[in-house]
Structure 1
Amino acid sequence: MHDPTPLCVPDGASLLHRPDRPLLMAVLNVTPDSFSDGGRYITPEAALAQGRRLAAEGADILDIGGESTRPGAEPVPEAEEIARVVPVIRALAAELSIPISIDTFKAATAEAALEAGARIVNDVWGFQRETRIAEVAARAGAHAVLMHNRPHDAPPCGDIEDEIRAFLSRSLEIAEAAGVPRSRLALDPGVGFGKSMAQNAALCADPGFLRRAFGLPVLIGASRKRLIASLIGDAGKDRDAGTLALHAIAAMEGADVIRAHDAAAHADAMRVAAGLRAARAAGIGAAPGSAP
């Protein structure tokens, strides 16, 4: 069931943090080769229907991407990426009340998407692949998610937390220089991007390490990734139940935004996580005289 109190954000407030519960960012891939749902929503009609469905099922943010980031995916020219995402963003922004995010590291794509109605830039290279994207976000007054990334074939990293902190410190410097306020930013440790399975699991188990380091909201996105298969021990098994379990735990441990492919079950899970977080914070124990 859709949350009866959807995200309504006053001007100047954060689109990437809600004090009462974790936010759900739902994925809409307008690509033929996404690792999870490649080609299913490549036509505008299918993409619009899925965007409406995700919003109706409880998504707080709709994250639209036109280029797959899976290992080995073919690069997409920016003109093609723009042609895939802009019509969908323009149509959905005109009819949905939830904010739309553009999943891209290309400045030109981000600019076109923001002009079409997107309000968040979700950059998997943390403003470091094309630094002009920070200026694009600043001019548009957009929010942004800055993700840590490293090449999939990079040598193993011993202390991944140190590397993530150093990388995102540079991303924040780029954002500040361009004029993007910290109040409009969230950070993503980049689960599945150039990290070992053990490192990915550790990042999901303690998403709060980034908030402790930078004082900013943290996004976790492990939806249907190989990490789930490694944890459940069956690469061929459906990963949705495992994804939901991992994301619920990450939300309990401090994630502010969860990025997932499905909405209905995750929306319920985020409300459950919020309730348990509030109970833990309040230190609620058994009432006197209650049954054990």
Structure 2
Amino acid sequence: MEIQFLGTGAGSPGKFRNVTSTALRLLDERNSVWLFDVGEATQHQILRTTLKPRKIDKIFITHLHGDHIFGLPGLLSSRSFQGGNEPLTIYGPKGIRDFVEVSMRVSETKLSYKIHYRELSADGMIFEDDKFRVYAQHLDHRIECFGYRVVEKDHPGELMVDKLREAQIPSGPVYGELKAGKTVTLPDGRTVSGADFLGPSQPGRIVALLGDTRQTRNAARLTQDADVLVHESTFAKGESKLARAYYHSTNIQAAELAKRTNVKMLLLNHISARYTGKMALELQQQAREVFKNTRVVKDFDEYNVPFQKITAEGAQK
């Protein structure tokens, strides 16, 4: 599981930051890529990465401001020409379907795949398969806006081969059945349970990706115990009144949220064009005074989301 930033700027594109788009690379987990927001020229940014548009099968839109959706028509069209024939699902506030369909109709664009739409209204779980759950919560912005919480399901524990050998259980297909937690009958008549030969399960990882927002209780529901929090930082320390007036957050507010909800890593994006070079580093340093493991991200930055280490007793480190 990796996070790659395709655009980290706020409002309009700049020389060093494109507008918002974040890719969650799940190639090892489910051979797919999920996008969170698709700002203008996202497909141009993708050309400078190893991402393949045909691998994108889910797009999560936080809200309908242009710097978060103006890249959608071009990306969806190009996906048709780049081998993307599998269906794609778009999640987002009411209106996202109209935006896409009007764009496709007016431009007479014909897609080689079907788009499924999930226009959100209520908070809660919006997707589940055998590996992941995704939750959405309303945030506090000038228009309807959502944040997303991606929860990976726990991985089964490792098969304790040494213990199997001690029990004189011969290797072979039976190991696979025990790894799956099944109860099997051995050739010598013994009945054994896979649960007795599995180490502690590996907790899945949690990634929270918030849209533009003022501080709200729902943010804490999304971010609690997250391994990684991607949070906007449109304003800096000392600008909380401005942030509230414009329905945004400061770097300090994001850091305080990360600390309060036991987040492991905070990645700040949606950076105003006012903060370039050293000023962007100042945003990072200010936030680190509150929450040490904070980084201000740049376009094309990549971050691996690590598993938390599990001790023999099953406790997290």
Identify whether the pair has TM-score above 0.5, normalized to the shorter chain: no
TM-score, length basis structure 2: 0.35
TM-score, length basis structure 1: 0.37
User: Larger strand proportion, structure 1 or 2?
Assistant: 2
Greater relative contact order structure (CA < 8 Å, 6+ sep): 1
